[in-house]
Amino acid sequence: MPSNTSYSWYTMLVAQDPANRYAIQRPNGSWMVIDYSAGLRILNLHNEAKAFNFTIKDISIAEDQNHNAGYIFFRHQEAEQSLIPLLPGYVVYTTAGKKRFRLSILESNNQLLFFWEEFGFDFSYTDKKAQGVERLAFHCMLKQYGLESNTTIRTILGLYNPQIIYKLQKLVHEKFPLRYPSIFQRESLENLRNSAKKKEETLLHSLKRGQEEIDNFLCENDSNGNSQNILFGIQVESDGKVLPPKMTQVSMLKNLEYKQTIYSQNRTIKKLKEKVTSINNEGKCH
């Protein structure tokens, strides 16, 4: 096997399931692979927005105090964005203390479980050396390997990556809209603004084409010596109509309103035709 294989272990892992695995690079230059093949799930506990508390030394007390915890906390200038959800189905191939781990977030009785597997220096992640399961978001694993002082949960899970954080937070928001409202409401407002801008641009293009048709109409009338420039009952002026800005805006909105009405009516007519056809076909069968 080529000597540089160990440097592209993440490429090989991604190649095994490119639709569900993604390689991301840490700030220190090392790599990890995120695996979504198990499917991310949101639990009822995620509606509580409770973060894990890793300051309690007694494990049994810590487990009790962290009952229903489903987030890790990191300080952010916006408090709402300081909570990162831990979702069942999230799997990561990562390194910590020069050892390789596969970390999986599971669920049991609507509580999170954290399953870890250690593969030593095996970059193929096949030669398992040890494994364990816990309830404290891999905190016990880090402590067992003496890594809790210089390795954070965020680091080993890749939860410093903005795209991953966004994905997890959005999934929670979709099930529990009261979680992260300001983040995605801003996004929703921005989408509405962009949509409105595109509609206005489309309307302006349509009006421009309409003006070209009017110019052709006037030119044709002029060639035929017809001075009655009336179209759809409206006197057409060669220089156009001068309207106050507010009336111009009303005209634009009315134009879109009529188009929407026609679109809705056409859909209704289409459905009625399909229903009539279906009834006729049923009658023929009998």
Point out the domain boundary residue: 179, 213, 246: 179
Lookup result for tokens 């006729």: 280
Among 102, 140, 104, 100, which Cα is nearest to 120's? 100
Angle at 70 between CA 64 and CA 76, to 5 degrees: 115
Q: Residue range 60-64: average pLDDT?
A: 93
Per the domain annotation, does 36 fall within a domain? Answer: yes
Q: How many domains does the chain have?
A: 2
Q: Do 27 and 116 reside in the same domain of the chain?
A: yes
Measured CA to CA in angstroms, residue 107 lies from 49, 79, 136, 221 at distances of 17, 27, 13, 77
Q: Do 169 and 242 reside in the same domain of the chain?
A: no
Lookup result for tokens 């700030």: 27
Per the domain annotation, does 187 fall within a domain? Answer: no
Q: Do 256 and 207 reside in the same domain of the chain?
A: yes
Is pLDDT at 78 greater than 70 in this prediction? no
The pTM (predicted TM-score) of the whole model is 0.64
Q: Residue range 273-282: average pLDDT?
A: 82
Q: Residue range 39-54: average pLDDT?
A: 93
Q: Do 225 and 266 reside in the same domain of the chain?
A: yes
Confidence tier at 3 by pLDDT (50, 70, 90): very low
Per the domain annotation, does 188 fall within a domain? Answer: no
Is pLDDT at 108 greater than 70 in this prediction? yes
Q: In this structure, what are the phi and psi dihedrals at residue 64, rounded to the nearest 5 degrees? A: -65, -45
Question: Range of 15's domain?
Answer: 3-179
pLDDT, one tens digit per residue, over 214-253 is 888 778 877 777 777 887 778 878 787 787 888 878 777 7
Per the domain annotation, does 53 fall within a domain? Answer: yes
Point out the domain boundary residue: 117, 147, 179: 179
Task: Tell me the Cα Rg of the chain.
Answer: 31
Q: Do 175 and 267 reside in the same domain of the chain?
A: no
The per-residue pLDDT for 149 is: 67
- Beta carbons of 121 and 97 less than 8 angstroms apart: no
Q: Do 255 and 141 reside in the same domain of the chain?
A: no
The per-residue pLDDT for 5 is: 47
pLDDT, one tens digit per residue, over 150-186 is 668 888 999 989 899 999 999 999 899 888 877 766 6
Q: How many CB atoms lie under 10 A from the CB of residue 3? A: 6
